[in-house]
Amino acid sequence: MADSCRDVEPLQSSWVDGELRAGERARVAAHLQHCARCRKDIHALRVTRSMLASLPARVAPSGVAVPPIGVPARIPPGGRALRRAAVRALAGAAAVVVAVGVTAFAVGGDPTPGARTVTVPVDVYVAEHLVRAVGGPVSTPVLPKARR
C-alpha cells in the first residue's frame, strides 16, 4: 500500500539529510516516484539546505561567552536572586492591581441610588450609524422584538 503525503511529510527533512532507516527510505522513495507535490517539497528542502550551508560562519566578538550548542547558559549566582526579586515584585504589583479592581467592583454599585433604568432604543442608534457610515439616507432596519 502506498503511503499518503501526510505519512511522508514528517520524513522529508530526514530524507534530505540522509538520516532515514532502510525501511523508511524505501517507503519515501516509493512515494516520491508517483507524487509530484512531495518531490517539489523535497526539492525546496534541498535548496534551503544548500542556501543555509552557503552562509558564512559568524564568529562571536571576543568579549561574548557563547556556550556550546546543547549546553544551557549558566546564570551567575547574583543573577538568580535578581530575577527572583523582579518576579516577586511583578507578582506583588499584579496582586495589588487585582485587589483594587475587585474592591472597586464590590464597592462600586449604582452611582446614583435613586436613578431609574432606561431602555435604550438600539434601532435608532443602528439607523444613525448606518446613515453616517454610508453617507446618505438609509431606511431604518426592522429589528425583531425581544422576548421577555
pTM of the model: 0.41
Torsional class of 70: left (φ above 0), alpha (ψ -120 to 50), beta (otherwise): left
Residue 141 belongs to some domain of the structure: no
Handedness of CA 85, 87, 89, 91 (dihedral sign): negative
How far the first Cα of the chain sits from its last, in Å, is 62
Residue 24 belongs to some domain of the structure: yes
- How many domains are there within the chain? 1
Residue 139 belongs to some domain of the structure: no
Cell triple for 84:
527572583
Residue 75 belongs to some domain of the structure: no
Quick check: helix, strand or coil at residue 132? helix
Q: Can you give the residue range of the structural domain that contains 40?
A: 5-54
Residue 68 belongs to some domain of the structure: no
Residue 36 belongs to some domain of the structure: yes
Residue 101 belongs to some domain of the structure: no
Residue 27 belongs to some domain of the structure: yes
Distance CA 46, CA 8 (A): 16
| 126 close to 143: Cβ distance less than 8 angstroms | yes
Per-residue pLDDT of the chain (148 residues; tens, 9 = 90+): 457 889 899 999 999 988 999 999 999 999 999 999 999 999 999 988 888 888 888 777 777 776 677 666 666 666 777 778 888 999 999 999 999 988 887 777 666 666 677 676 777 777 777 777 766 655 555 556 666 5
Please tell me what DSSP assigns to residue 11.
G
